[in-house]
Structures are given as structure tokens and as C-alpha cells.
Amino acid sequence: MALKQTDRKPPVAESHRVAVDERARRMPSRPKGAIMTEGAIPEVRGERALREGELDRLGFGEVAGRIADAITDRASSDGLVIGLDGEWGSGKSSLLTLIEGELGRRSEEDRPTIINFRPWLVGNRDALLTSLFSELAEKIAKVNVARGDATAETKLKAKRAAKTVRAFARALGRAGDFVEVAGELWAPAKHGGRLLKGIRSWTEKGKEDETTDLAALKERIKVDLKELGHRFIVTVDDVDRLEPAEVIEVLRLVRSVADFPNVIYILCYDVDRLAEAIENGADIEEGERFLEKIVQLTVMVPKPEPFELRQWFADDLAPLIGPLSDDAEERLKMVIDQEGGNQLRTPRSVVRTLDSIRFFWPAMRAEQIDVADLVWLQLVKDGAPALYRWAETYVASVAATSFGTATVTETTIASREKGLVEVVGEGLLDDIMYRNFLSEILPGLEARLADGDEPPVRIHRDVDAHIRQSAIAARRLASPDHYRMYFGLIGPSHAVTQQGFDLFWTAVDDGPEAAASVLLDLHGQQALGNLRKSDVLFERLRGMDEIMWTPARARSVLLALGQMMDEAERRTPRDRNISTGFDRAERLVPILLRQLDLSERGATIDALFGKGDALGWLTTLLRRETFAQGRYGDRKRANSEWYLTPEELDRVSEMMIARYKTLSLDILASYRRPISMLFAWSQAGDPEGPRSLLAEAAATDAGLIKVLDTLTSGIESSDRGRHTVLKKENVEPFLDFAGARERLEAIAKGDDTELATAANRLIGAADDAKYW
């Protein structure tokens, strides 16, 4: 396959694109110019026969020449019916076209007249009977003109033969429901009627000539055609595509006149399908035996070699897609060899798949999607539609699970694995090369490495973030951001568009404020379920190869997160997601910190924790490190999992404690997670700080109500939905819980109705907390 290599620039500019490994970054962009020729639009060929002068891909020309020789030199002058037998899509129509072309190149003396009879274009049974003979009569009348023979004798013979055939056609048209031809009953599927003999024949002038029955007219035609001495070829293509009743009509017509001298019929069909139609239409058991009485000679359409079909496909594909990198070309070759060998079984399958690519590629090449994946999908779409639908469901499910918005049960996995075996075929999946081939295309598909009793493939396996990001960068079918383009010509609604990525990187280069603004804008765009597009971006950035980061970009993104994360949370409705935007942004922090040298790292950490507006999000980072380094609790982690050094954590703790000390109760309560902030303050080394703040605020009854409201938390239950509880473990570290409860009970009995109502509410919240 002649697919050229190119040295074009990578499709992902370093300043504006998420990229991954060196291989992905070296991948050249898809050409935005020519297909075939510059600016040309590929023409969808359609399922049509080969046209005169078009390239004969399968060498049918030589076969057609031999058949034409046999028809010219050795076919009986008493009439003949030839069957051209081949399965659907095998190229029968193209072979027939080539045969007609070969016959047309014979010398004037040997060149026959070709009549293309197409019965499915005829509206009714009577028209079917007359159409053939009317056209035959017309061709007979033109024989002397075509041959350049203007002798009186030839003109007379042609005129007489044409006249007789027209008379026969008119007689058939008047025959009604039952016609007897040459002693055989012609019985179309109509009710009643009587045997019509003595049908009047009419001359061209419409004057009554004589009374002649059909049998006599037929004998006269035989004499006239024999004397004329010119051969006629009647071709009937796609006989097996007719309705069963129509098939019987056409075959009876051919059988009744098959012995006309110098008239040869070529019928094209798939014998199995035609036999089935005969059995249904004539209510008989052996359709092939019926056909044998009509067709005297069968020519089998040669089956092309599988490698010929793949080479044809590759040759026509190359100019459509343009030049490729070495890696892309190798994967495309594998697709053609592996899946092409399975799906390209007939010439029609080659044409259909090429047409699919011609149709979809112009709309998709600008998106720079992966050609090999597209070709694989079009091959299975046309050759194995059940596998196409399976892949569509599976890839969409993998995309959803990659964001944590969906889970797949073991039952579903088992069912889908069984479904894959059914649509692919157990025998094919036993081939280790094909299993490995599929695992390279479909995400989370793990191939069995050796023969054994285990299932041939496992699906929905964990996809490494680096592999996923590689698929995203190359816009492959396995990319959760791009898979929908392969199935619906559009990217998934949750994906951040390339324009969105470009805008983000431009903003990052402009500084933290610009980056924060773009992130807030993306946060305002819904992705999947409760996911925002900022969540999608965070996931993509986390999987990005670190060589794409610069210290300046890492600093800009860190400071942007420190500015906007609290505001993003305030704009988000409370949800039940275990993984939140806070968590996704947090997982970026160690990646970004690793990009900074010591001087930049210290200054960035100081700016982030000392001045960042997102005090709530920064609090989650502080608590995470406090526990990870074992300064509080029993969840100490390995040093390799620490985000900060111990010295950095000391400095961060000091800065955050200083900031907490400036908070009033009203400001603290305005954050989405005030309890977390109080615990972070205490656990960072200043347990007296939050106690003093709350004790001072709770000095009055109204202040106690406000403090306890700040310490409530929301929970979800199946029967009550979201409701508020006041947990002892959230109060006790900062206030005497028992004393606070006594004060609430006293307030509830007091004269201040508003405070009493609030106290009763909090007492109920405390009681509810006992059950959770």
C-alpha cells in the first residue's frame, strides 16, 4: 500500500494543545488540502456496475473476453439461455458490462445487437410480456442500418421479422389471463379467464391482416430470425432481486421464447437466492431443478482472491486520506490486513466501505481524527453492523466511566463480553493476533495472551491515564473526548473543544487572572450529569505528559486555582458526587509543583496559600497534607505521596493560621465548608484559635444559634432526601456539647419566638444525628 510519509508539524501546537508522548507529538496533521487533487471533493461511487473505460480491478476483462468469444463463435444458432451466477456483490453486473463491451468490439459481421431487458422497470404483467418483444422488434428493424447493409433483400428480411415480432407482442398484450405458447400454458397469477386462441395480428398500419394463433406467430418469428442471420443478446440483470411472483413471470417468458434462433439470453443471479424465490413464487420444493429447465449453460463469476480485494481497497484509499506518519501508516496497514481480511469479501464490500470513507472523511479530516480507527469502524459498519453497534455502546460506556459519572456492574461486563464473542465470532477471537489488534483500538479491552480456558478478552479494564491522554491527543476512537465524532460526526457534548483548549492555554500564558476567568467560564458549562467542563479539563490536564508543562504555566495554573475554586463551588448546586471539582483540582497540585524549581516553588507556594482567594479549597490542601505527613490522625502516607516538604508545610500552616485568625463568624459561615476550615485551623497547630472564635460568638443566645448553625452538616437519606444534622463530633472539639444542648433547651422554652423556633430546629438536628 503506497501511503506516503510526511514531515509536517505535529497537530498539537505546544502552546495550545494537550499532548502526551513523543510518538503522539510527532504525529503529523491530516492534510487540509487535496483529496485526489487540490480542492477536489471525493465522489461517492455508489453500487453501480463497472463502466466502460473504468479500471478493471479484478481482472474480469479477460474472463469477459473469453465469454464473448464463446458467444460469438460457439453459441448455438437455435437460441441459448446462459446463467451468470455469483453471490450478491460479487461483480456480476460489472462482468456483464465487460462482456457487452467485448461484444461491441467485434467486427461488423460478428457484432451482435444487445438488448438490456430490465423487468423491474416494467409496471405490470402485460407490459412485461410486450416490452421485450417490442424492443426486440425495434432492434431488428435497425439491423440493416447498423450493419451498413442497404440491400433490398436485407431490408425486406428485417422488416418482415420486425413485423412478425410486433404482431406477437400485440397478441401477447391482448391474451389476458391465460396464454398458450407453443403448447405450454402461460398462467400468470390472475383469476379466471379462458384460453385465447385466434388472436388477431395487426400490421403496422393497424389494418386487419389475418387470424393467427400465438403458436403460429412464434413459428413465423423463428423462420424470419433464422433467415435474417443476425445474433441478438438479451441481458437480464439482478433476476434474483425481483419479487418471487415476478421471478416466475420472467423465467416463464424466457422459457417460452428461449428457442428463438440467434437470440441468446444472459441472466444474472445468485443461484441460492433465485432458487428460494422460485420455490416461494411457484410453490415447489426444488427451485434449482426448475431453473435447470430454463438455463442451458451456467457461467460462475470468478471469486477474487482476498488479497486482491484488500489491495484494491488500499490503492483507492491512499489518495483519499493523503500522507501519513510511519506509525499511522503501520496501524492502517494492520487494520486493512486484519479487519479488511474479515469484512472485504466481495467487490461490493470494497466499494461500499470506500464510499463510506469518501462520504465521512471530508467532514472529519479537519478535526484531525485518526484515519486507521475511522477505516476500522467503516469496515465493521458495512461488514459487521452488529460489531459496530456493540463498539458504539461500549466506547460510550468507557467514556462515561472515565469521568466517574457512571459505573459498570460485573453482570453488565459479563453480558458485554458474551455479546462481543457473538458479534465477532468465537473462532476469530481465538486468533491471538486479532485479539491484540482489537485491544489496540478499543479502550479497556485486554486480550488473553495465550490459549486457555479463560475468556478470549476482558473488557472494561482500567485505562491508564497516560494511555487515555495519548488517545485524546491523537483524537482516536478510544478518546472519551472524540469517540462520538466517529459515530455521529460530532464531538461528545461533555468534551472541551479544541478551541476551548486553545483559549485556556492562551489565558494561562497571559497569567493567573486570565486563566482563572477561563476556568470559571468552563465551570459554567455543563458536561455530563453534575460534571462541569472545568472538571473535564482538570482530568485532561492531569493525564497530560509533564514535558508539555513549563514552570511559568504551572505557576499560572496553580495561582488560578487558588483564586477561583471557591467561587466555582459557590456557583455549583450541592450534589452527592463523591468526587468533586475540589478533588479534581487538588490532584493537579503535585503535578504542577513538580514543574517548579526551588526558588519558583517557594514563591509560588507563598503566593498560593498566603494570598489565594479560594480559602476553602486551600483548606482542603492543608488538611490533606496535615494527615498525609502524620501531624494529625492515623492516616500518614509514604513520603512519596506528600505534596509539600515538611518545611513547606510548616510555612503553609503558619500562613493559613494567620488567615483563619482574621475571620469573623459571619465570614467563616459564608464558605461552603466552614467545619472543614475549623478543623484545619485546629489540626494545623492552633486548637485554641477556633475555640476562642466560637466561644466569643456563642456568648449570646443569638450567637449560639449562629455558631451551631455553622456546625451543622447536610446528609442524604432515601426516605427524607437531603436534611440537616448536628453531630456531636463536629461540635465537641470547639464547644461543650452538653452545655450547648442545655442552653438550646432553655432558649426553646423562652419568650423569643424566633430564637425558640431555631433552638427547636437545632435540637431536632442533634437528635437526628444519633441515627447517622
Domain segments of the chain as ranges? 22-31+322-488, 67-112+231-304, 124-227
DSSP 56: -
Side chain identity at residue 539, one-letter code: E
Mean pLDDT of 130-150: 68
Neighbours of 485 (CB within 10 A): 21
In this prediction, residue 377 has a pLDDT band, given cuts at 50, 70 and 90, of: very high
Q: What is the mean pLDDT of the chain?
A: 81
Confidence of residue 197 (pLDDT cuts 50, 70, 90): very low
Is it the case that residue 110 has pLDDT exceeding 70? yes
Torsion over CA: 752, 758, 759, 761 (sign): positive
- Chain-centroid distance of CA 367 in Å reads 15
- Asked whether 30 and 368 are in contact (CB, 8 A), the reply is yes
Residue found under cell 443461484? 271
pLDDT at 284 over 90: no
Q: Residue 24: is its pLDDT beyond 60?
A: no
pLDDT digits (tens, 9 = 90+) for 505-525: 999 999 999 999 999 999 998
pLDDT at 416 (0 to 100): 94
Position 78 scores a pLDDT of 78
Cα–Cα distance for residue pair 55/305, rounded to 1 Å = 17
Contact 420, 402 (CB under 8 A): no
Q: How high is the pLDDT of residue 487?
A: 85
The 8-class DSSP code of residue 345 comes to -
Residue 87 has pLDDT above 60, yes or no: yes
Of the listed ranges 86-100, 583-597, 679-693, the one predicted with least confidence: 86-100
Contact 600, 555 (CB under 8 A): yes
Answer whether residue 614 shows pLDDT above 90: yes
CATH number, domain 67-112+231-304, options 3.40.50, 3.30.70, 1.10.3470, 3.30.450: 3.40.50
Closest CA to 481 of 402, 394, 579: 402
Mean pLDDT computed over 194-198: 32
**Cβ-contact 97, 49 below 8 angstroms:** yes
Beta-bridged to residue 298, according to DSSP, are 83
Residue of 59, 160, 68 lying closest to 112 (CA atoms)? 68
Ramachandran region of residue 431, left (φ > 0), alpha (ψ -120 to 50) or beta? beta
Distance CA 316, CA 358 (A): 10
For range 102-116, the mean pLDDT: 85
Q: For residues 516 and 563, is the Cβ–Cβ distance under 8 A? A: yes
Closest C-alpha to 551, from 601, 477, 485: 601
Question: DSSP letters of 491-551?
Answer: --TTSPPHHHHHHHHHHHHH-HHHHHHHHHHHHTSB-STT-BHHHHHHHHHHTS-GGG--H
Give the model's confidence band at 729: pLDDT under 50 very low, under 70 low, under 90 confident, else very high: very high
